[in-house]
Amino acid sequence: HILQAENLINLEFLRPGRQAIRLKIPSDPLNQLGARLWPSSLKLSCLLMRQLQPHQDEQLGTCLELGCGCGLAGAMALALGARRVTFTDSSPKVLNRCAKQCRLNGFSMSAASSSFAEPDLKRFKASVGEFDCRQLCWGSLDQLLQGLADGWLAQPLDLILASDCLYDPAVFDSFFATLSGLFRLASPVRLGCLMSAHNRNPDWGFARLLARYGLRATPLILDDADSVEACISADCLASLPADFASCLLEDETVQLFRVTPEL
């Protein structure tokens, strides 16, 4: 079920023949950026759940989420058995909130993690993969190079996640610059970048940026067995605001892509 009380949303993702995945996500409905749960992250989480086998470390070892916000996509990767997920965002407040979300869900913070968490959070232990929270401003290659030097940027990465990062055309260039940098510095990124994007503008205008940075985006479509309706119960969908639910159910509103380096 999805229930909202005191800005905490309880999510239950259904898996036929398997135990459901339950995640708790703090969300501020009045916030217009990283503190709010957005439809794109739910749809990306459904894609992850259907594409990745649960608890197979050899399939998904290291993962990095760009512009993590509430961190739902990264939390889903951890729930599916990722060995390590690095959450990145430009805002320390968002990273603190994301770290607390991970604690609520029983995930363990890396002992070498940054300071974007309370001291007791660093001591928290769990039986699943570990997470890390790092400040990362898009467009800064120096920060990525420093991440390699400091050891928090895994080399190679298995997967990059990006949920609703293309919210403003003004950030498109810096976002793809960072994504291109990750593909170069953390190569090979075996599964590429899984990205969900809320189409708020009929002229996205990022095709030329893909070409500029040597990237290609392959559209992904959830079939009936993988759809939001199949992953989240009817009662859960009914409990969401009408505009939230419509974004999830209309294929053209929230779109999914796999971004990879151009061959």
CA angle 220, 259, 54 (to 5 degrees): 65
Q: What is the pTM of this model?
A: 0.86
Q: How far apart are CA 10 and CA 30, in angstroms?
A: 18
The pLDDT value recorded for residue 11 is: 85
Tell me the one-letter amino acid at 100: K
The pLDDT value recorded for residue 247 is: 65
Give pLDDT < 50 ranges for the chain: 1-6, 55, 57, 115-127
Sequence-ordered list of residues with C-beta below 8 angstroms from that of 183, at least 6 positions apart, any chain: 189, 193, 215, 260, 261
The CATH number of whichever domain residue 38 belongs to comes to 3.40.50.150
Tokens of 140: 């800064």
Q: How far apart are CA 197 and CA 257, in angstroms?
A: 8
Total domains in the chain come to 1
Strands of 127-172 (E only): list them: 130-135, 159-163
Whether residue 230 contacts residue 177, with contact meaning beta carbons closer than 8 Å, is answered with no
The pLDDT value recorded for residue 214 is: 96
Q: Token match 């995640």: residue?
A: 23
The pLDDT value recorded for residue 203 is: 62
Q: Is 93 helix (H, G, I), strand (E, B) or coil?
A: helix
Residue 261 phi, psi (nearest 5): -65, 145
Task: State the CB neighbour count (10 A cutoff) for residue 168.
Answer: 10
The pLDDT value recorded for residue 29 is: 62
The pLDDT value recorded for residue 139 is: 95
131: containing domain: 3-261
**pLDDT tens-digit readout, 137-154:** 999 899 999 999 998 998
Tokens of 61: 């070892």
